[in-house]
Structure 1
């Protein structure tokens, strides 16, 4: 029967119809014929049905517990706080990131499997044939609205979700825990206060290049692969057009192997030292207030990309561009590390350098601005 052959009932007749009659009328008006609409569980309360219900609930509970574990891990400071290699407690610290991935993945997997199992075991697999029509460009009539509501209610009733409180509660647990994790994840990245740490060197405003006491000289140190070996840099050690990654060295740390090794694990410590070619050095544009930060042809920039903190570790000698391989940000070494391509919007902080009386390259001070990406308290 075509939908055009179905007589449209009056408002009084429509009001007297029950849900089954409205469903039948609605499918007929849409040109739909239900060929088969079997009940997945024609005999109610069987062991198989209860077993299937418990299996669905089990996956929702797994999703809920994994989601709650993810939130707990995310907010547990003793787990995610950075620990140097060899320090006590590094076993659990090394498992922190994998544990976040496992718990979040298990929460999503459990919720997905639970929904799939419920769909497979409890939703009727109807077989229907429908005529195609475009509605003649008109909006939904009152008749269409009433019948579609009845059809949706009937579908919900046939899915038996209304009488399966175990599945509803477990699904709420799984979905709620996962939702809590989704909300907590972006918030957790903003909880660290740059003002909280008692040691100024551990705040976001300072780096290990800051002198530890008056008169402290911070040398530029190259990494040789042996953390206990201290190799300082003289201006003549680099060729024109060369680049080298350097780290801070305090003379007071020379006899302390732990500090000598720990500096290489500080994410804010690496600096890219460049020696420009004479013809390139003549074309440099310096930043206002930082005109004396270089030493001759030597320029030092933080290697922490100002986009999201990846290592800006590539240097293209021909174009004098510093490149970040993560998201392809590019910085011009001849224009105070200014971004010229990619998502980064701030220049790489420049480290003021000079030469000490004993002939080694040293830092004149810490960076005058925070390194890396932005945070709430940062003004620019």
Structure 2
């Protein structure tokens, strides 16, 4: 069957000759079939296929107020589906002109709290509107026919008449003359296609761009702040104390690789301080800072025994000695805790001199910088 004959009013492939295989092909030659109009082929195919038509409702008359109202309803529904899909795209990319306070981070308030609910609601709304539009289109604009059909034999006659029936279905749908529907369908299809393609960006995007496992938010001049965002001066801590600090950047206290332990050593600890090679100037006076992420399995290291200068990981009991550059002295950890080089800025607040010079986290993340 010729695929070029799909326009309304064509024969649906009846003009293409084919071999005769018995049945109706014995009664009609390809030339006779090609000469018949599509409507007659449709009825003829139904009759030879053993189709009994029980009821026919042709649908609304073209150009009537009923048809125009139905077209507007269906077109509006499809257009709203396209708008919901495009809104999904806007939320997904976090466009600043649409959501001015957008941030790719978890906060207690603001648009970012609604990020996942908005994505789910907009995608669900788009698909619901598609379904509603298709139901309205089928119920209000398409002809309705109730028929019973017997099994056909798959002859050339069947192929030709079936092609005419399919083309007739396209003709009866009214899409060729209902421009509002075709435009709204095209708009909806484009929006839905873009919506479904957007999540693939997370799969296509290179997750290692910028060396995310080997870098953190710490950088030269970034202040050490408490969880509430207040900066720290060298005299704020008592000797022998520990305080968890974060980088003074937006959302720094929520970043999983940013927590750092700031120690103020006692005088006797300073006397026995033996930094690792290359880390001799990482401390500032009696202050040293080490990553809070255990190098064994990534648990938070938080138990400090100042009498023994040891830090204990509560998950698997790895122990690190801060007077020896936080080298592991017990337990499964085999790599020292990364040390953050620190100093003070012009206002006397503690700041980082750079990022960690080694990867933060479990040993399987330990690798050379790219």
Q: 1:94 aligns with which of 113, 119, 131?
A: 113
CA change 1:63–1:77 in 2 (3 A) is closer
State the alpha-carbon separation in 2 of the partners of residues 154 and 163 from structure 1.
Answer: 14
User: Whole-Å Cα distance in 1 between the matches of residues 63 and 321 of structure 2?
Assistant: 85
TM-score normalised by structure 2 residue count? 0.55
Report the alpha carbon displacement of residue 110 of structure 1 after superposing the two structures with TM. 1.6
Quote the residue 1:300 is aligned against. Answer: 296
Q: Secondary structure at the match of 2:214?
A: coil
Q: Is 1:356 equivalent to 2:330 in the alignment?
A: no
Which whole-Å CA distance do the structure 2 matches of 1:146 and 1:268 have between them?
68
CA RMSD of aligned residues (A): 4.7
Encode CA deviations 1:265-305: one digit per residue, 9 max, x unaligned: 2244699xxxxxxxxxxxxxxxxxxxxxxxxxx9731369x
Residue number among 250, 254, 258 corresponding to 1:265 in the alignment: 254
Equivalent residue number for residue 26 of structure 1: 45
Q: Residue 115 of structure 1 corresponds to which residue in structure 2?
A: 134
Q: Secondary structure at the match of 2:123?
A: helix
- Number of residue pairs aligned between Structure 1 and Structure 2: 256
Residues 1:170 and 2:179 aligned together: no
Instruction: Indicate conservation of the 8 Å contact 2:257/2:361, yes or no.
Output: no
User: 1:95, CA displacement in angstroms?
Assistant: 2.5
Gaps of 5+ in 1: 229-247, 272-297, 305-332, 335-351
Counterparts in 2 of 1:84 and 1:125: CA distance versus 1, 3 Å = closer
Kindly report which structure 2 residues correspond to 1:55-74, keeping only aligned pairs within 5 A, or say none.
55-74=73-92
What secondary structure, in the 3-state scheme, does the structure 2 residue paired with 1:54 have? helix
CA contact (8 A) 2:23 2:155 kept: no
Q: Quick check: 1:67–1:104 contact (8 Å CA) kept in 2?
A: yes
Query: Kindly tell me: are residues 299 and 73 of structure 1, through their superposed partners in 2, closer, same or farther at Cα, counting changes over 3 Å?
Result: closer
For 2:135 and 2:68, the matched residues in 1 are separated by 17
Question: In structure 2, how many angstroms separate the alpha carbons of the residues matched to 1:113 and 1:46?
Answer: 23
Structure 2 match to 1:126:
145
Contact 2:77 2:132 survives alignment (8 Å): yes
Cα distance, 1:72 vs structure 2? 2.1
Larger Rg: 2
> What secondary structure does 1:363 align onto?
coil
Tell me the secondary structure at the aligned position of residue 296 of structure 2.
Answer: strand
Q: Could you list the per-position Cα deviations for residues 17-43 of structure 1 after superposition, in whole angstroms to 9, with x for gaps in the alignment?
A: 1111211221123221222222111x4
Change (3 A) 1:227 1:118: same
Distance in 1 separating the partners of 2:73 and 2:138: 13
- 1:82 alignment partner, one of 86, 91, 104: 104
